[in-house]
Amino acid sequence: MKKKKIFIFALHVLMITQTYFFLPLIPIYAKEFGITQFLIGQIIFFYNLPSGFTKIYIGFLIDKIGSKNVLILSNIIFIIGVIFYFFPGSFFILCTAQFLTGISRAAFMASTAFYFSEMDAEERGKNLGIRTAGIGMGFFIGPVLGGLASDLWGYYALFIILLISFLLNAFLLKNLPEIKLVGQQKSLKPEKISSFIEDTKILLKNPEYLIVILSGFTISAIMILTDNYLPLYLNEISLSMRAVGFILSVKGLSQIIFGGIMGSLSDKYGRMVFVYGGVIIPAVSIMLLPFLTNFYLLILFVFLISIGFTVLNPILNALAAETVKPEKRGFSIGIWQSSVSFATTIFALLFGYMYSVLNLKFIFILASSFLLLCLIGVIILRYKFALGRNSKITGSEFL
């Protein structure tokens, strides 16, 4: 078990670092090569587009061929996508690069969520909290190194370093053990083979699972802002690439500090109270951030925004796993993450249009309003349909 945790944690941190080594810089990268604001929005959209369509099937695929094989596939796609970034003058090539790396990220995020969920069912929240801390380390390391590398040697050197780093991925994948599903029991009777569509319909009819999905939508708004439009805002107020990289790295601090303990606390005290806090704090911070220019205040508010992801990500992954039978957990996590990606895709398209015609401040205000509306929806669903049921999500432990 210890070996399993070490290798999957190391691979998880490495792939998040690789992603955020370059991802926050892509809008600025495209802008420097003369691509218009509207097309920059479309480039952002193409990164998020595949996640909405692939994560549903990725979860299904994990249950069929195993999470390790899905991780190997995601690495191969990532390498192909990075190669396309060497040709920034073409809008269509950049969209292709974004699309491929978006597919890769969807696959490895769903796979690592499944790994951490199933390593130890009794400490699922804690393990997924450790996973969030790993994401935080990638958030912290990636932007700092990426901003420094692009400042010193330029963008091409950044992508070359990125490709070389995949030798470490190959080593970790080679030594990564496959995980066996926790809690799955073999039946003496032959089971009816359920279809992908039937499984999805059954899952989405569950009010408790709808609470998880709606809560997850808030992550989409946080991620699309911090990954894409926060760097553009920092660039607009004339901060250097190093300063941009440093401020973006603060996103990882809250996850490093709190990621491991949030899952453990939710295991002990219940999950929904943390969901509420994980929405309210970033909602207020997002609304105020675009009116700030002071370097230190920007650091503070980015830290507060990242608390939302720190709290919500491990808890909602745990809840997605706890709503279904053990043999359907990969599928459940895939559906949940896919719903978040669909919301992210819609926001990428909407924000891209807004960026071309309106001030960046309106994007932040809209995202903040959306978070608060999602919170209201979660409260209504919880109290009207599910509260009081014998459930890990909405039972009396959350009263």
Name residue, tokens 């509420």.
276
What is the per-residue pLDDT for 3? 64
Looking at the predicted structure, is the pLDDT value of residue 98 above 50?
Answer: yes
DSSP 241-272: HHHHHHHHHHHHHHHHHHHHHHHHHHHHH-SH
Give the model confidence (pLDDT) of 110-129 as tens digits: 787 777 777 666 666 667 76
- Domain chopping of the chain, boundaries: 2-179+199-398
Neighbours of 3 (CB within 10 A): 10
Confidence of residue 288 (pLDDT cuts 50, 70, 90): very high
From 11-15, 144-148, 209-213, 231-235, the region with the lowest mean pLDDT: 209-213
Q: What's the pLDDT at 66?
A: 77
| Cα–Cα distance for residue pair 56/156, rounded to 1 Å | 34
**Residue 203 pLDDT:** 65
Could you give the CA distance from residue 228 to residue 207 in angstroms, rounded to a whole number?
A: 32
What are 172-231's pLDDT values in tens digits?
888 777 665 544 444 434 444 456 566 666 666 666 677 777 777 888 888 888 878 888
Residue 298's pLDDT is 92
Output the average pLDDT for the chain.
77
User: In 3D, which of 166, 38, 27, 36 has the Cα closest to residue 85?
Assistant: 27
- In words, the CATH class of domain 2-179+199-398 is mainly alpha
Q: Residue 46: how many CB atoms within 10 A of its CB?
A: 23
pLDDT digits (tens, 9 = 90+) for 28-85: 888 877 787 778 888 888 887 776 666 667 777 777 777 788 888 889 999 999 899 8
